[in-house]
Structure 1
Amino acid sequence: MKRNSGVIGGPAAAAVLGLFLAAGMTLAAGLLGDAAEGLLASRRVVTVNGFAEREVAADLAVWPIAHSVSGDTLAEVQEQIADSGALIRDFLDQQGFDAHEISDSVPRIIDYQTQLPGLPNPPPKRYTAESTVTLRTRNIDSMKAAMQAASRLVGRGIALTRSYEATPRFMFTGLDALKPQMIAEATVDARRAAQQFAQDSQSRVGAIRTARQGYFSISDLDAFSPERKTVRVVTTVEYFLVD
């Protein structure tokens, strides 16, 4: 008679092995499903923009006062342009501006006879000289008052010229002091938008995944108030959503 070696063989062994394999596969599938569900949940995000805006006053102004003269000789136009420049500086001095706020450009002289020969309607004088006295100040109100009184210069015989380069400009230079608080306000605004989205999708706002600070822009408040500025910033924030 042969002894039983204790090893199960035949159909019974295959059945037991199949049960173990099935149980293992079921457990593995459950674990993988839980992992996949967790991974998908961790990837649920919402991207929102946050906005912040401030109205500020310009703190720096530049007023280029362009003027021109004409004459038949170089000596004549050089003397005239120097005289009109001196009158403009005297005017600004009377308006209360300091000498360090005022600067002069090098005169630009046009000789119509040599530089622009053959003009169909040449000017009566051979030479024209143009120059600019520039006021650069932080006293915005005083500059606005001086601009309103600029007609006095014309009354003293100064030919003021208008051009894009001679347009008064008002600027705001205090942006760095505003940046931290405005970025914080924009971030709060972004989270508010994310919370509304999460509420609509029956979720909660989680941690920040990514955040990108947008650029700051400074523009005139309107076409009639260049001394008032609007500062804006937009941030883009990506939040995780949690069930």
Structure 2
Amino acid sequence: MKEALSKHLGAAGVLAIGIVLSTWLITGSLQDIKAMERTVQVKGLAEQEVMADTVIWPVFYKDADNNLEALVARVEEKNTAIRAFLTLHGFDEQEMSQATPSIVDKFAQEYGQNERGFRYIAKSGITVFSHEPDKVRQALGKLNTLAKQGIAITQDDYQNRIEYMFTGLNDIKPHMVQEATQKAREVALKFAKDSDSKLGKIKSARQGQFSISDRDSNTPQIKTVRVVTSVEYYLSD
């Protein structure tokens, strides 16, 4: 009887020691996991200025007359003159696209019947699509040549504004993402130092969308490319 009781007490003791040991191990593991979950979230910005590599230039004008036939003939002459002007400044046929003339009869519109002025108003011109923005900038300085021929190019109209674009984003993406990530790490290192911590591995990272905008309103051919990277790092003591 005593021997059986002794064995029972011994087994219970071993079990108790096992429970205590397991509890200690689990508690230590939980503390380690909790310590690993100390993190810092930072962002890194990369910016780069680039030159536009593509341009859309609407070379449009307006004309008016009371004689529809005379107006149509004059529109054809002006379009021919614009095409000759563009050819002279280095644009080929593949870069030029002639728009269908838009002619409005004001007498056919109820709200315009009492307005004074010409009956017919025409809008026409040629759209240039080129991968050589410099040619457009050079031609812009010679528009007075067309003005002397009675062709006033409309440039203030929002629909006729010149559009400069940058299409080489894929070529600079890797470098910019690397730069943004590096700047994020620099911020994280500074935070870790200030908080008497050590910077650990990356827990998560997210790349933001790239944005392309004009550097300023006076130089739309110069673009600013931006990307922001968000990174979360582990911290340790």
* TM-score w.r.t. length of structure 1: 0.87
Question: Following superposition of structure 1 onto structure 2, how do residues 89-238 of structure 1 map, counting pairs within 5 Å?
Answer: 89-123=83-117, 125-161=118-154, 162-238=156-232
Secondary structure at the aligned position of 2:43 is classed as strand
Instruction: Name the amino acid aligned to 1:196.
Output: K
Structure 2 CA distance for aligned equivalents of residues 117 and 21 of structure 1: 98
Is 2:28 aligned against 1:31? no
Contact 2:106/2:112 (CA < 8 Å) preserved in 1?
no
Q: Which range moved further: 187-196 or 132-141?
A: 132-141
The equivalent residue for 1:40 is 34
Structure 2 CA distance for aligned equivalents of residues 128 and 121 of structure 1: 13
Of 81, 84, 101, the match for 2:78: 84
Q: CA deviation at 1:98?
A: 1.4
Q: Which range moved further: 94-103 or 26-35?
A: 26-35
Q: CA deviation at 1:96?
A: 1.8
Is 2:3 aligned against 1:6? yes
Contact 2:41/2:233 (CA < 8 Å) preserved in 1?
yes
**Using a 3 Å threshold, how does the CA distance of structure 1 residues 116 and 66 change in structure 2: closer, same or farther?**
farther
Structure 2 CA distance for aligned equivalents of residues 8 and 50 of structure 1: 69
1:15-39 per-residue CA deviation (whole Å, 9 max, x = no partner) reads x898767645543432232011111
Query: How large is the RMSD of aligned CA atoms in angstroms?
Result: 2.2
Structure 1 CA distance for aligned equivalents of residues 160 and 110 of structure 2: 24
User: Where in structure 1 are there 5+ consecutive unaligned residues?
Assistant: none
**Using a 3 Å threshold, how does the CA distance of structure 1 residues 117 and 189 change in structure 2: closer, same or farther?**
closer
1:39-72 per-residue CA deviation (whole Å, 9 max, x = no partner) reads 1022122111111111111111121111122122
Contact 1:112/1:122 (CA < 8 Å) preserved in 2?
no
1:83-122 per-residue CA deviation (whole Å, 9 max, x = no partner) reads 1111111111111221211111111110011124554423
**Using a 3 Å threshold, how does the CA distance of structure 1 residues 209 and 5 change in structure 2: closer, same or farther?**
closer
User: Where in structure 2 are there 5+ consecutive unaligned residues?
Assistant: none
**Using a 3 Å threshold, how does the CA distance of structure 1 residues 181 and 118 change in structure 2: closer, same or farther?**
closer
Contact 1:43/1:240 (CA < 8 Å) preserved in 2?
yes
Structure 2 CA distance for aligned equivalents of residues 117 and 54 of structure 1: 51
**Using a 3 Å threshold, how does the CA distance of structure 1 residues 194 and 74 change in structure 2: closer, same or farther?**
same
Structure 2 CA distance for aligned equivalents of residues 191 and 113 of structure 1: 68
Instruction: Name the amino acid aligned to 1:6.
Output: E
Secondary structure at the aligned position of 2:107 is classed as helix
Q: CA deviation at 1:77?
A: 1.8
Matched residues, number: 235
